[in-house]
């Protein structure tokens, strides 16, 4: 079951997170400073206190990102900014959190397109299979540089009350299952857990599967009890959430990537002085490299943990290019579905993104 994971940013944040959780009565609220109850910069006056939501728990990529982001802002502001990083579940599930960001109940945080899909249909472009290349450095470069994503898609988000200041990868998606999933035939009638995005359902229906949206908070039990038979996630998350304990196979499919956004509530962000806006934007930019290293290190180390785990042995299968081609062929028509059904800008965004991917790959 869930284990404590060492913080990549050193013992101080890990120890502090544990202490802060105790101090807060374990409700998931934390301060990313020291453990004496102020903002970590002894004696400094806190002028701004902001809530930062994440969809993950301590030790996982989003939460570690949140702690580092908070620490950097607190340092730069010499203690006048305090950011409370919330772990998944502290303020509700992924959909509740998204609503809090939209309405300004929380100022900022990390939300992912798998949950924003129902309100920003164009964001589901990230749920298309075999659109991006495999190499994560190239994926990150596209996410950071793409005009289709950072201008056009960003403005689709803005219309919904919040704005992604950055898009970044948490790693390539892999499948887990109790049966081998190496060809589309293996998905026939397969009960696949997905996030909320309607396009995710469409993508798995194209393989003949029977997809079911479910919060990850219910997923371990869902897999254990057979409500769903498999799921997709980056490897660090599969191991950290212990899904491999109730699944026999890990299939390296590289069918797409887990994309996260660092987003802000529009009304709140617009109300800030320019120097604060710049400080936040600068820190978000710095965090692109931090996030990349974080996901890389966690995905590698958690794969090793899965491979070495004798108590819960998992067979790791890497799909060959020929096997991927079979999935690619069935995934291709889903792009047309996206163009036609997922928002006025879907076609334009996908066309532009396909060209950018071609140029950057």
Residues that bind ligand 6CS (CB under 6 A): 55-56, 94, 170, 195, 216, 233-234, 237, 258
Which residue's CB is nearer to ligand 6CS, number 199 or number 352?
199
Cβ contacts of 15 within 8 Å, gap of 6 or more: 35
Quick check: helix, strand or coil at residue 140? Answer: helix
Residue with tokens 């709140």: 268
In whole angstroms, the minimum distance from the beta carbon of 295 to ligand 6CS comes to 9
In whole angstroms, the minimum distance from the beta carbon of 36 to ligand 6CS comes to 31
Gap between the Cα atoms of 54 and 282, Å rounded: 20
CB neighbour burial string for 161-196, b if at least 16 within 10 angstroms, e if fewer? ebbbbbbbbbbbbbbbbeeebbebebbeebbbbbbb
Which residue's CB is nearer to ligand 6CS, number 117 or number 234?
234
Gap between the Cα atoms of 78 and 94, Å rounded: 32
Beta-strand pair 249-252/210-213: unpaired
Gap between the Cα atoms of 236 and 56, Å rounded: 11
Q: Which two tokens stand for residue 59?
A: 């030790």
In whole angstroms, the minimum distance from the beta carbon of 45 to ligand 6CS comes to 35
Which residue's CB is nearer to ligand 6CS, number 121 or number 234?
234
Which residue's CB is nearer to ligand 6CS, number 219 or number 284?
219
In whole angstroms, the minimum distance from the beta carbon of 51 to ligand 6CS comes to 18
In whole angstroms, the minimum distance from the beta carbon of 318 to ligand 6CS comes to 20
In whole angstroms, the minimum distance from the beta carbon of 251 to ligand 6CS comes to 16
Which residue's CB is nearer to ligand 6CS, number 94 or number 107?
94
Which residue's CB is nearer to ligand 6CS, number 170 or number 229?
170
């Amino acid at each position: 079951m869930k284990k404590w994971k060492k913080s990549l940013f050193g013992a101080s944040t890990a120890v502090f997170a544990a202490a802060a959780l105790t101090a807060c009565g374990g409700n998931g609220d934390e301060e990313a400073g020291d453990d004496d109850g102020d903002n970590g910069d002894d004696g400094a006056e806190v002028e701004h206190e902001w809530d930062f939501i994440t969809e993950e728990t301590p030790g996982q990529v989003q939460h570690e990102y949140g702690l580092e982001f908070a620490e950097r802002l607190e340092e730069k502001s010499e203690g006048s900014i305090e950011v409370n990083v919330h772990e998944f579940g502290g303020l509700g599930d992924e959909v509740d959190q998204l609503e809090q960001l939209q309405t300004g109940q929380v100022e900022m945080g990390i939300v992912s397109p798998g949950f924003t899909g129902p309100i920003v249909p164009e964001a589901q472009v990230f749920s298309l299979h075999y659109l991006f290349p495999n190499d994560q450095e190239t994926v990150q470069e596209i996410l950071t540089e793409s005009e289709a994503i950072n201008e056009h898609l960003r403005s689709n988000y803005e219309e919904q009350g919040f704005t992604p200041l950055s898009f970044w990868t948490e790693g390539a998606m892999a499948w887990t299952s109790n049966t081998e999933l190496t060809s589309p035939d293996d998905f026939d009638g397969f009960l696949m857990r997905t996030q909320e995005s309607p396009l995710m359902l469409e993508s798995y229906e194209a393989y003949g599967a029977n997809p079911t949206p479910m919060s990850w908070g219910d997923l371990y039990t869902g897999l254990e009890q057979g409500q769903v038979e498999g799921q997709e996630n980056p490897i660090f998350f599969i191991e950290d959430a212990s899904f491999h304990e109730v699944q026999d196979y890990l299939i390296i499919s590289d069918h797409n990537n887990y994309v996260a956004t660092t987003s802000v509530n529009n009304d709140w962000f617009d109300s800030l002085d320019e120097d604060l806006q710049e400080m936040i934007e600068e820190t978000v930019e710095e965090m692109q490299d931090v996030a990349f290293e974080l996901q890389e290190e966690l995905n590698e180390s958690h794969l090793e943990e899965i491979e070495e785990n004798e108590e819960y042995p998992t067979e790791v299968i890497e799909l060959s290019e020929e096997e991927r081609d079979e999935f690619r062929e069935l995934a291709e028509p889903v792009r047309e579905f996206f163009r036609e059904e997922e928002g006025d800008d879907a076609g334009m965004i996908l066309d532009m993104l396909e060209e950018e991917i071609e140029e950057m790959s």
